[in-house]
């Protein structure tokens, strides 16, 4: 069934959904591993979340084309959450709680939450995450150890010596392929549309490292800088490699902060993603937001119970799904099945992937989140958009994600209030012999946000004037505004102002004298 109640014959579109699911799997596999790597979590956790996103969430969601899984936008939250809660099992408890909170948001019909966040703040959040991704992945890209930055700043020679030449070479070639794959010249070819650049980069990185092992041992990347997934022989063995939440962690107050942050950011990213995918849908189907929050909540609870990362609907995978010709949610389900089969049968092969190649994939993801054109666009729009955008970025970089979003939101709301303050009425002056006539015509919709502007205007009207306040064109005038107008009328005689109200409802004004 779709959101309109129409029956969907999933078998009828299988001819298009199956190849689309395969393409999305090829896009998702390196991203699942890379995002887990960037999050500081077990790499297997990324695959678990991808499987849950495809096998579970796809069927619960009202979207036919969106694809869920681990998202780059949550990497900072996972890193901070692991640091705050100290163990991965405690963090999993926060993921389960975050899922429960999302289910609550869905039941409360809070799917409109995304409309109340200024786009400048959301773009700033994603840009900051992009910058953090880039900063984090540079050491892995170079094959350096975790103390790369501190060593580099204290001793440049020692810092550079910690790099691994072979890993750096593999990372550089992988990044070059990703950049080349995104150029218009390459995109013209059909193969570039059906085969993701990340897959080509990862496969070539395996080939390069095997070549190094055979011919240039000094350049070969060792096991410490390769993917490390558990080798599972059957579904029965999977239970032995799963992690489970530590229920005792619910006694830690910090868990609730982490869970709340995951729930809000994951919900925002999901709602933005499904909106974008709906715009790409050739059939123009609309995703019911509240149902999507419910689906994501169930997905996060399931992923958390099985040892997975938190998830969102992911625009990269959704876009790949649409452009490869998907028709229904069967495509997302097929991608999830392929991810499951990959950990069952391809773990030995996946463990040959150099981490520097995954770092290259993440550097590209980070760049796309924070590319220079985004900054130019925000500057071009104006200070009202650019200032909240750049303050959100700086606040996230120097504090943490939740604090940064709150700071950006406060600044964004300030500019919204300022914009509302400017345009609640039309102001016109007429010169007469006896006294100046000022006509104030209220706009169609006058909310409490306009009260400050109207009160300030009334307070600065000249003495000895004739003021006409006309609400003829107003469909709605907030009670607070009506009260302010009546208060002005009541006290205007003190400045010898004659007040005439047209189409303005009378309301009681408190007498404080």
Q: What is the pLDDT of residues 53-79, one digit of tens each?
A: 999 999 999 999 999 999 988 999 999
Q: Are residues 243 and 364 in the same domain?
A: yes
Q: Are residues 249 and 343 in the same domain?
A: yes
Rounded Cα distance, 63 and 285, in Å: 8
Q: Are residues 202 and 286 in the same domain?
A: yes
Q: Are residues 193 and 330 in the same domain?
A: yes
Residue 50 lies in a domain: yes
Q: Are residues 170 and 309 in the same domain?
A: yes
Q: Are residues 163 and 291 in the same domain?
A: yes
Task: Return the minimum-mean-pLDDT range out of 91-105, 374-388, 414-428.
Answer: 414-428
Q: Are residues 435 and 353 in the same domain?
A: no
pLDDT digits (tens, 9 = 90+) for 4-44: 445 778 888 888 899 899 989 988 999 999 999 999 999 99
**CA torsion, points 299, 302, 306, 312, in degrees to nearest 10?**
20
Report the 10 Å Cβ neighbour count for 116.
Answer: 9
Write down which residue in 371, 392, 409 finishes a domain: 371
Which CATH number does the domain housing residue 458 bear?
3.30.750.24
Residue 228 lies in a domain: yes
The tally of domains found in the chain comes to 2
Residue 359 has a pLDDT of 92
Look up the pTM and report it.
0.78
Residue 382 lies in a domain: no
Write down which residue in 371, 387, 414 finishes a domain: 371
Q: Are residues 260 and 145 in the same domain?
A: yes
Q: Are residues 359 and 434 in the same domain?
A: no
Across 227-233, average pLDDT:
87
Biggest CA–CA distance in the chain, Å, is 101
Rounded Cα distance, 315 and 67, in Å: 8
Q: Are residues 202 and 282 in the same domain?
A: yes
What residue numbers bound the domain in which 488 lies? 425-502
What is the chain's mean pLDDT, rounded?
A: 88
Rounded Cα distance, 261 and 81, in Å: 9
Give the number of C-alpha atoms closer than 13 A to the C-alpha of residue 42, restricted to the C-beta side: 19
Q: Are residues 178 and 291 in the same domain?
A: yes
Report the 10 Å Cβ neighbour count for 194.
Answer: 16
Q: Are residues 341 and 466 in the same domain?
A: no
Residue 249 lies in a domain: yes
């Amino acid at each position: 069934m779709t959101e309109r109640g129409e029956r969907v014959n999933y078998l009828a579109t299988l001819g298009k959904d199956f190849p689309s699911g395969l393409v999305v799997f090829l896009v998702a596999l390196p991203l699942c591993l890379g995002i887990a790597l960037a999050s500081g979590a077990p790499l297997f956790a990324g695959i678990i979340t991808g499987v849950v996103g495809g096998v579970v969430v796809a069927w619960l969601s009202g979207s036919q084309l969106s694809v869920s899984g681990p998202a780059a936008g949550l990497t900072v939250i996972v890193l901070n959450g692991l640091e705050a809660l100290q163990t991965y099992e405690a963090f999993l408890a926060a993921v389960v709680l975050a899922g429960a909170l999302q289910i609550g948001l869905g039941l409360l019909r809070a799917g409109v939450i995304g409309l109340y966040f200024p786009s400048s703040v959301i773009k700033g959040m994603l840009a900051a995450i992009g910058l953090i991704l880039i900063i984090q992945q540079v050491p892995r890209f170079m094959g350096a150890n975790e103390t790369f930055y501190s060593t580099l700043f204290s001793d440049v020679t020692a810092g550079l010596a910690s790099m691994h030449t072979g890993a750096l070479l593999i990372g550089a070639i992988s990044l070059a392929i990703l950049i080349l794959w995104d150029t218009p010249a390459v995109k013209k070819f059909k193969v570039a549309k059906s085969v993701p650049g990340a897959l080509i980069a990862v496969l070539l990185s395996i080939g390069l490292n095997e070549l190094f092992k055979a011919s240039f041992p000094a350049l070969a990347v060792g096991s410490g800088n390769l993917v490390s997934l558990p080798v599972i022989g059957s579904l029965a063995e999977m239970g032995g490699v799963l992690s489970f939440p530590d229920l005792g962690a619910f006694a830690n107050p910090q868990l609730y902060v982490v869970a709340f942050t995951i729930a809000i950011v994951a919900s925002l990213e999901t709602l933005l993603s499904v909106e974008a995918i709906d715009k790409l849908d050739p059939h123009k189907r609309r995703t019911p937001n509240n149902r999507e929050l419910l689906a994501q909540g169930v997905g996060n609870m399931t992923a958390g119970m099985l040892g997975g990362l938190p998830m969102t609907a992911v625009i990269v995978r959704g876009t790949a799904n649409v452009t490869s010709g998907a028709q229904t949610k069967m495509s997302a389900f097929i991608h999830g099945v392929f991810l499951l089969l990959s950990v069952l049968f391809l773990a030995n092969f996946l463990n040959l992937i150099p981490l520097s190649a995954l770092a290259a994939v993440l550097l590209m993801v980070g760049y796309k989140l924070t590319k220079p054109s985004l900054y130019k666009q925000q500057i071009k729009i104006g200070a009202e958009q650019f200032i909240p955008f750049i303050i959100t970025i700086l606040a996230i970089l120097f504090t943490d994600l939740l604090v940064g979003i709150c700071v950006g939101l406060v600044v964004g709301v300030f500019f919204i209030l300022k914009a509302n303050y400017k345009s609640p009425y039309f102001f016109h002056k007429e010169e007469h012999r006896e006294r100046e006539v000022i006509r104030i015509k209220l706009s169609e919709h006058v909310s409490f946000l306009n009260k400050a502007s109207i009160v300030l205007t009334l307070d600065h009207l000249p003495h000895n004037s004739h003021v006409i306040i006309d609400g003829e064109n107003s469909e709605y005038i907030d009670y607070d505004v009506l009260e302010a107008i009546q208060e002005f009328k009541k006290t205007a005689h003190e400045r010898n102002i004659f007040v005439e109200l047209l189409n303005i409802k009378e309301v009681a004004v408190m007498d404080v004298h």
